[in-house]
Structure 1
Amino acid sequence: MTMSFTQEVSAWLSENGYGELESSQSVGGGCINQTLEIHTSHKERFFLKYHGSPPVGMFSVEARSLDILREARGVRVPVVIANAEHYLLLEWVEPRERAPDYWARFGEGLAKQHQVVAPEFGFGFATYCGTTLQPNDNYTDGYVFFAQQRLLFQGQLAYDSGKLESGSMWRLEALCRKLPELVPQQPPSLLHGDLWSGNAHQDENGAPVLIDPACYYGWREAELGMTMLFGGFGEAFYAAYEAAYPLEKSWRDRVDIYNLYHLLNHLNLFGGGYSGQVQRILGAYT
């Protein structure tokens, strides 16, 4: 941390009764933010994320999202201690080896979270998926929401930056028109929004913990589809989820449609390595 940033965090801790910042050490795993384990003179530990020039409001919307997920009482999320323009301070969660029932508890907890539903799709405020703005305007129609706020939003970003050609945009628009034929009606469930294995951790009891949300109210099948994009989730997770909140038997047939959003986002964030997967899905449906 820079000296001015160290002083800002240290001052906040002291003013709010947590003691002085005594030491900090880097925590691996962050590809967007710097992450630290910090220790105070009151013998407390915290997890600190910071960024020298973050997207506007990135940490404040993450803090709000974590609070909303915690209220759902599904899967544990870290308690927010403080947030400011350049940092987010969270409770320290001491990681342990996954418990034998880790995946079953994860599936049950996520099913409970998904049973929290809203009157409309969206979130009332934009969030971030990585560093990409994720618009969450409210819609009563889930098909319009997913088309406008997810696929076409990302597609336009890719087109404007030269990562997607006009023919691919035409096919993306055609896929959006077909969504009511391809995707069943689903209520707007509370979603983590970026649920890959890198955002699934464990606590001091080996129980699941979720981090780095990109929350909104949307199709729960889309959340489960994201868990399959990069793999790493045990079959016990899916079995426990379905036992608690059954899915349509054909839900796995649709995961490419949902994951097209994340692949477009990765195309925008990381470049052409994801172009082939995007083109494969567009070709399969248009």
Structure 2
Amino acid sequence: MNAALSAAVERMASDAIGGRFGLSSIEPVAGGDINTALRARGAAADAFVKLRPGADLAMFEAEARDLAALAACEAFRVPRVLGCEAVGDDAVLVLEWLDLRPLRGDAEGERAGHALAALHRLPTETHFGWPYPNFIGTTPQPNNRHDNWPRFFTLERLAPQLARAAANGYHGALQRDGERLCERAAALFLDYQPAPSLLHGDLWSGNIGMLEDGTPALFDPAAYIGDREADLAMTELFGGFPMSFYVAYRQSWPLHEGYEVRKGLYNLYHVLNHLNLFGRGYLAQAERMASRLATELAR
């Protein structure tokens, strides 16, 4: 056990709980695709520790603030932040440990669907964006504020990812169709003016879970104020959500006509991000999505 890390975890957790944490061990756990994931075992409770080399603290600081924002929704459990600081050459984020499992069955899917609608209905500001930039995976995510949603999504989401793709050597059809999308995306919103909603921002099935008492939980956010359809769209991108989830959400807050087309626009952002993070294996999918949307907007 790294002595400096152990001492920092003990101190941060103890300060947060207002008493001695009583650290006994720190051990690796699953979930460390981007960061090292650890379980810190304490005398009365455990903590989840994220470790990132290079003291890149900005990513964890943004995550801590995003988690605090999502915690305003009482329908979800969100892990409490116990500490966030640099320890030697590493950035460390310490969170409350939650015993989570994937959503199972219709009842749990229904509960999660209603909870997501409750999150999206929280009172929020009237503009789109976020008070600070954050991250989607390891990619910086700009969040400059806009009153116009299509403009926000074009300038703060699509355009930066397309620029990264070009810098990574992905040119041709992807950039041609991407440029057309940026020019014409507003046409998808002529009859739809989304209400600003608090979004999780990275809502695939790996970032939502269920506690044993039946409470749904959210974690690993890339939060911002946006169109609620963007969260719904991502749940469909990689699957893993029961149909009851979608039925319950629509019962709580029906979706507007045109969602089936707009969800392709929203999911293109995430596919472009995967292309930029993980490489050429996502290129064909990104090109197909951009081409389909460009064709739809040319009609």
Q: TM-score range by the shorter chain?
A: over 0.9
Which residue is 1:20 aligned to? 22
- Given that 1:191 and 1:216 are in contact with CA atoms closer than 8 Å, whether structure 2 keeps it comes out as yes
Which residue is 2:100 aligned to? 95
2:51 aligned with 1:50: yes
Q: Which moved more, 1:272-281 or 1:78-87?
A: 78-87
2:275 aligned with 1:267: yes
Secondary structure of the residue aligned to 2:41 is: strand
Identity of aligned residues (%): 39
- Given that 1:99 and 1:207 are in contact with CA atoms closer than 8 Å, whether structure 2 keeps it comes out as no
Going from structure 1 to structure 2, the CA distance change for 1:281 and 1:54 (only over 3 Å counts) comes to: farther
Shift of 1:36: 1.6
Q: TM-score, normalised by structure 1?
A: 0.93
Which residue is 2:175 aligned to? 169
Q: Distance in 2 between matches of 1:88 and 1:44?
A: 17
Q: Distance in 1 between matches of 2:55 and 2:260?
A: 36
Listed as ranges, the matches of 1:207-222 within 5 Å are 207-222=215-230
Going from structure 1 to structure 2, the CA distance change for 1:232 and 1:131 (only over 3 Å counts) comes to: same
Shift of 1:53: 2.3
Listed as ranges, the matches of 1:73-84 within 5 Å are 73-84=74-85
Q: Deviations over 1:205-230 (max 9, x none)?
A: 13321110000011111111100100
Secondary structure of the residue aligned to 1:51 is: strand
- Given that 1:96 and 1:205 are in contact with CA atoms closer than 8 Å, whether structure 2 keeps it comes out as no
Which residue is 2:297 aligned to? none
Q: Distance in 2 between matches of 1:175 and 1:98?
A: 35
Q: Of the candidates 94, 106, 114, which is equivalent to residue 120 of structure 2? A: 114
Going from structure 1 to structure 2, the CA distance change for 1:114 and 1:54 (only over 3 Å counts) comes to: farther
Listed as ranges, the matches of 1:229-268 within 5 Å are 229-268=237-276
Q: Distance in 2 between matches of 1:13 and 1:80?
A: 9
Question: C-alpha root-mean-square deviation of aligned residues, in Å?
Answer: 1.9
Q: Distance in 2 between matches of 1:173 and 1:152?
A: 8
Secondary structure of the residue aligned to 2:38 is: strand
Which residue is 2:35 aligned to? 33
Shift of 1:245: 1.0
Q: Deviations over 1:19-48 (max 9, x none)?
A: 3321122221220111122122x3221111
Q: Deviations over 1:53-92 (max 9, x none)?
A: 2544111111111111011323221111221231111111
- Given that 1:200 and 1:208 are in contact with CA atoms closer than 8 Å, whether structure 2 keeps it comes out as yes
Shift of 1:203: 1.1
Shift of 1:132: 0.5
Shift of 1:144: 0.8
- Given that 2:12 and 2:82 are in contact with CA atoms closer than 8 Å, whether structure 1 keeps it comes out as no
Q: Which moved more, 1:128-137 or 1:96-105?
A: 96-105
Name segments (4+ residues, structure 1) moved above 4 Å.
96-100
Which residue is 1:105 aligned to? 111
Secondary structure of the residue aligned to 1:84 is: strand
Q: Distance in 2 between matches of 1:96 and 1:56?
A: 28
- Given that 2:103 and 2:241 are in contact with CA atoms closer than 8 Å, whether structure 1 keeps it comes out as no
Q: TM-score, normalised by structure 2?
A: 0.89
Going from structure 1 to structure 2, the CA distance change for 1:109 and 1:20 (only over 3 Å counts) comes to: same
Number of residues of Structure 1 aligned to a counterpart in Structure 2: 284
Shift of 1:239: 0.7
1:10 aligned partner, one-letter code: E
Q: Distance in 2 between matches of 1:285 and 1:230?
A: 19
Which residue is 1:63 aligned to? 64
Secondary structure of the residue aligned to 2:71 is: helix
Q: Which runs of 5+ in 1 are unaligned?
A: none
Q: Which moved more, 1:131-140 or 1:97-106?
A: 97-106
Secondary structure of the residue aligned to 1:87 is: strand
- Given that 1:74 and 1:111 are in contact with CA atoms closer than 8 Å, whether structure 2 keeps it comes out as no
